[in-house]
Structure 1
Amino acid sequence: MNIGEKLKKARQEKNMKLRDVADATNLSISYISDIENGNSTPPVDTLTSLCRALDLSIYSVLAEPEDMRLMEKHISAELYELIRDFNEWDERDQDELITYLRVKKTARDERNTL
């Protein structure tokens, strides 16, 4: 399933119309329709906006089903619980967590190369 199909499925499951998503994102109905039908690929900021409107994580839209199963298997229940509403966080808090995780990854990578 491609990005547009995942977005469309999520919209329909939430009983939202294209107009609802357009109002929430300030995007045109025709542009959202083009994305859903695979005629356009949204840039990251647009995808972020669409995911927020649909209460989805960007990862769930970008990941393949196998990736999701692997992720679910390896993430502890506590961590999942802590970040499951990540896309509802204020942007500054999201950026802070992402920055922290990048710094930790860099430190781990450096330790592993020694």
Structure 2
Amino acid sequence: MKLGDKLKAIRKANGMSLQKLSDTTAEMSESRISVSFLSDIENYRSNPSIDNLKIIAKALNTPVSYFVDDSENSLFGGAIEDTEFVPVVELLKDFKNWSIEDKRELLHYLEAKKVLRDNK
């Protein structure tokens, strides 16, 4: 997946419009990345500088490596493009604030679900 597609996918997974992303970049840095420039990136008309890519990644709470990794399995194993995954991303946004017990419970659930899928 190319940078523009990745930007659009993660932006939509975060439930952000181009305007909201632009506003968030202004909150995160001293410079705003304009809606038109973000649109140009998503539509392959422009490429961001490394500094701008860092600002965009920070605004999306996403590692810069997601945008530059050529691997199809970079973030969430490609699941980010799946629109049914959007609610999961929303629920995980504050994962770092979860208690260790809640994190372990989620891990155990996901491991059990994988075992069930693998044994079908």
Q: What TM-score bracket applies, with the shorter chain setting the length?
A: 0.5 to 0.7
Deviations 1:38-97 (A, max 9, x none): 11000000000000111111111111226849xxxxxxxxxxxxxxxxxxxxxxxxxxxx
Is 1:37 aligned to 2:10, yes or no?
no
- Give the structure 1 partner of residue 68 of structure 2: 62
Cα separation, 2, equivalents of 1:36 and 1:55:
18
How many residues are treated as equivalent by the alignment? Answer: 69
CA RMSD, Structure 1 to Structure 2 (Å): 1.7
Query: Quick one: which amino acid aligns to residue 3 of structure 1?
Result: L
**Unaligned 5+ residue runs, structure 1?**
70-114
Q: Structure 2 length as normaliser, TM-score?
A: 0.53
- Give the structure 1 partner of residue 114 of structure 2: none
- Shift of the alpha carbon at 1:3? 0.8
Q: Against the structure 1 CA distance between its residues 21 and 5, is the aligned structure 2 distance closer, same or farther, given a 3 Å change threshold?
A: same
For the residue of structure 2 that corresponds to 1:5, the secondary structure is helix
Query: Quick one: which amino acid aligns to residue 61 of structure 1?
Result: F
Higher relative contact order (Cα pairs below 8 Å, separated by 6+ residues): 2
Query: Quick one: which amino acid aligns to residue 57 of structure 1?
Result: P
**Unaligned 5+ residue runs, structure 2?**
26-31, 76-120
For the residue of structure 1 that corresponds to 2:48, the secondary structure is coil
Moved over 2 A (4+): 66-69
Is 1:21 aligned to 2:21, yes or no?
yes
- Give the structure 2 partner of residue 46 of structure 1: 52
Cα separation, 2, equivalents of 1:27 and 1:61:
16
- Give the structure 2 partner of residue 3 of structure 1: 3
Q: Structure 1 length as normaliser, TM-score?
A: 0.56
